[in-house]
Amino acid sequence: MKCLDIKIWLQNWLDGQAPGADGQRTVEPAAQAHFRQCKACREQFAAAQRMVEGMKLFSRPTSPARDLSRSIVAKALQDRVERRLKFQRRLRLTVALAASILIMVIAGYIFEPGPKKDNGNGVVAKQEAPATDPRKQEAPPEKSKEDSTPALAKALDEAKGTMAALTGKLTDQTRESAKRLITAATPTLELPPMGTGILPEESIDATASVLKAGQEISDGIQPVTRSARRAMDFFLREMSTFEVAKVE
């Protein structure tokens, strides 16, 4: 036998030393022969023998009290009751929580403000709540500057166009009125062909009066146009101020 074989043999020897197999240990002649030659293995075996000897001297620790089993059982029964109560409490709490969530959901469904629309799939969709703040409608706070600026510019362009159209329409109406007035004033008056530069004597007075009327109409329109322009400028200035403040 070699040292490695002795190590394996020693473990097997120790395995056979379980309580009950006491006193039956034997040492093989081959192992004995190796122990005579090898001091390290001999010492290892001696230590193993001492360990086994010491384990035999180990006495079982005595139980602390005779009525220990009774007290342990009492504690176990109490523990069982406590655990059952805890489980019931937890169950009640869970049921109560589930019921309150259900009530909240039902109440929310019943008392939800605003009409509901069916989207055709059997799902009732909520209608969007009306916005109370008009500024929020124009430029919602979630939108970025890039998103809100084109919309504002478009609105301003539309306002400008509308004002220009109104002014043009008013001018056209005034011109038509003036034409009708001239026609009514001199029904037989024949105007010379364009480019001659000479008007008949009768028509000079009529022309002067028409020019005067036209001038008066123009003077009358001017304040309206000026007021509209001022209003437009004011509107634009205010809007630009608001836009800057909002972005900041």
Partner 1 sequence: MTDADGLLVKRCLHGETMAMQALVERFHPEVFGLCVRILHHRQDAEDVAQEVFLRIFRSLKRWDSKRPLRPWVMGITVNRCRTWIGQKRRRPEPVDYVEEIATTTPVDDGSELAREIQAALEGLRVEYRGVFVLFHEQGMPYEEIAQALRKPVGTVKTWLHRARLEIMDHLRRRGMVAEVEHEMP
Q: Point out which residues bind partner 1 (CB under 8 A).
A: 11, 14, 17-20, 25, 27, 31-32, 35-36, 42-48, 50-51, 53-55, 57-64, 68-70, 72-73, 75-77, 79-80, 83
CB of 86 to partner 1, least distance (A): 12
Give first-to-last CA distance, the chain, whole Å.
Answer: 94
Whichever of 47 and 104 has its CB closer to partner 1, that residue is: 47
Distances 138 to 82, 150, 233 between C-alpha atoms, Å: 63, 11, 20
CB of 97 to partner 1, least distance (A): 26
Q: How many residues does the chain have?
A: 248
- CA–CA dist 60, 81 (Å, integer): 34
Whichever of 30 and 104 has its CB closer to partner 1, that residue is: 30
- CA–CA dist 166, 169 (Å, integer): 5
Q: Are 213 and 178 in contact (CB under 8 A)?
A: yes
CB of 95 to partner 1, least distance (A): 24
DSSP helix/strand/coil, 155: helix
Whichever of 61 and 122 has its CB closer to partner 1, that residue is: 61
CB of 77 to partner 1, least distance (A): 7
Whichever of 37 and 119 has its CB closer to partner 1, that residue is: 37
